[in-house]
Structure 1
Amino acid sequence: MPRDSNLPSAVLFDMDGTLTDSEKWWYAAERDILGALGVTWTEERARTTIGAPLEWVCAKVIREDGLEASAQKLAADMSRRVCEVARTSGVIWRPGAYELLELCVRLGIPTALVTSSFQELADVIRESAPRGSLTVSVASDSEVAGKPSAQPYLLAAQRLDVAADDCVIFEDSVFGVRSAMAARSHAVAVPFLVEIPSWPLLLRVNSLQEVGESELRAFMSAPLPAGDPLLSPRGND
């Protein structure tokens, strides 16, 4: 069957907070592991790092709190803790997420997972996803720069053999939205725990429950962003 050119060539998803309700697992792991090092880790502080690459977050805390610790080891410990919870408790999908993945499978649209978490957690999530979905994943311990760089989404598009500007991307964080817009894809914000600015050419839905085939077509007809809204000379106007 020939591809419908009015539908995206691929749909790319952020993981924590967009596809899965896993931010609370991260907060608990960060609070416990950092607390053992004498760091007071509040929900407010955690929100400032939502969407950022895991090891970058750990390096930031080490620097700000003057810790004698390894960012790589801290990140690995946190990732291991969250993976254990995910395997024990089961994946909690955000409203409409599982159904949207199923829709993409029915429509023949490939999907990918692009996350600031480590690959081991991405693999756990993919194992619980609908069959035939999330065939590609890019995690923060991959070989490219993390969000807000465009590189994770560009790599996902490359692995799916599609053009980034023919993709729809769903994101729930400022770091992630900047990455999606920097890739010059059809970026859709799905705000959850943090507010996302109303940047020009940034699409927006309240929930993935609002997204069906007609919405995917509408996203593809929208103008493309010119790049990262904080770096683009004209702010995507």
Structure 2
Amino acid sequence: MGVGDDRGVTTTTPRLAAVLFDMDGTLVDSERLWDTALSELAAHYGGALSAQARISMVGMNPGVSMRILHTDLGQEWRDPDESYRWVERRMTDLFRTGLVWRPGALALLEAVRRAGVPTALVTSTGRPLVDIALDTLGRDNFDVVVAGDEVRAPKPDPEPYRRAAELLGVPIERCVAIEDSPTGVASALAAGAAVLGVPNEVPLDAADGVHLLESLTGADLDFLSAMILKPAH
């Protein structure tokens, strides 16, 4: 949008180029489903998953999460890939029947889509489960999807968010990423996006470039657009 100054010179006001949504714990209340599957896997292995180990898994990719679980159980010798296949089978059933929208998430997503602002789903969850979740989220609600098994370096590396911006053909610095975990926030910040943090299972600390809200019921398109103009400090 062009704006004239006192000298008649036209300047450009940055516009919101895209909104990049995390999935688990941000759009849908799926962390509780992961709680169920991970606790059941731990019991299957003859142990119990500690609360601290579970918290440390939030936002992590499957390989890291399985290694945390194995270490917590004192069973470091187990194969992370085998363990995740067990969890993925259980989560397939849970995703089909138990996904619930987080407060304000659907309304915000619909408002962004009505405004014609491009959207991306950027998640650490693998594509097989993401495809099931999209039955609830709506495949047409996202212009691109970046799943956790479709990048070389998952969150907290910046690659997932940079990849989403590249696929959309927009500058990452004019994108708002919405996240619920420290891992996801770190990924989006490192990529160069403005970040809206909406904590769920774990708290988020105030940081440069991060706006914090208790829930997405407090966010709308004007709020997201203002984040591009007024970075958090």
Tell me, yes or no, if the aligned pair for 2:108 and 2:221 is still in contact at 8 Å.
no
Partner of 1:26: 34
How far residue 80 of structure 1 moved from its aligned partner, in angstroms, is 2.3
Partner of 1:234: none
Partner of 1:74: 83
Tell me, yes or no, if the aligned pair for 2:57 and 2:68 is still in contact at 8 Å.
no
Query: Which 4+ runs in 1 deviate beyond 6 A?
Result: none
Deviations 1:101-147 (A, max 9, x none): 11111000111111111111211222222463123111221132111
Matched, 1:159 2:167: yes
In structure 2, the gaps of 5 or more residues are 1-11
Matched, 1:48 2:48: no
Candidates 118, 121, 143, aligned match of 1:113: 121
For 1:127 and 1:216, the matched residues in 2 are separated by 26
Tell me, yes or no, if the aligned pair for 2:177 and 2:188 is still in contact at 8 Å.
yes
Partner of 1:228: none
SS of 1:57's equivalent in the other structure is helix
Please tell me the residue identity of whatever aligns with 1:70.
D
Please tell me the residue identity of whatever aligns with 1:146.
P
> Superposition pairs for residues 141-156 of structure 1, below 5 Å?
141-156=149-164
Matched, 1:15 2:54: no
Matched length: 221
In structure 1, the gaps of 5 or more residues are 225-236
How far residue 48 of structure 1 moved from its aligned partner, in angstroms, is 1.6
In structure 2, the CA distance between the partners of 1:98 and 1:62, relative to structure 1 (3 Å rule), is same
The structure whose residues are more often helix, as a share, is 2
Please tell me the residue identity of whatever aligns with 1:212.
D
Partner of 1:194: 202
Please tell me the residue identity of whatever aligns with 2:169.
D
TM-score between the two structures when normalised by the length of structure 2: 0.88
How far residue 68 of structure 1 moved from its aligned partner, in angstroms, is 3.2
Partner of 1:177: 185
Partner of 1:85: 94
Deviations 1:37-86 (A, max 9, x none): 13320333211211111221112333452343221121122122112112
How much identity, in percent, do the aligned residues show?
33
Partner of 2:213: 205
SS of 1:141's equivalent in the other structure is helix
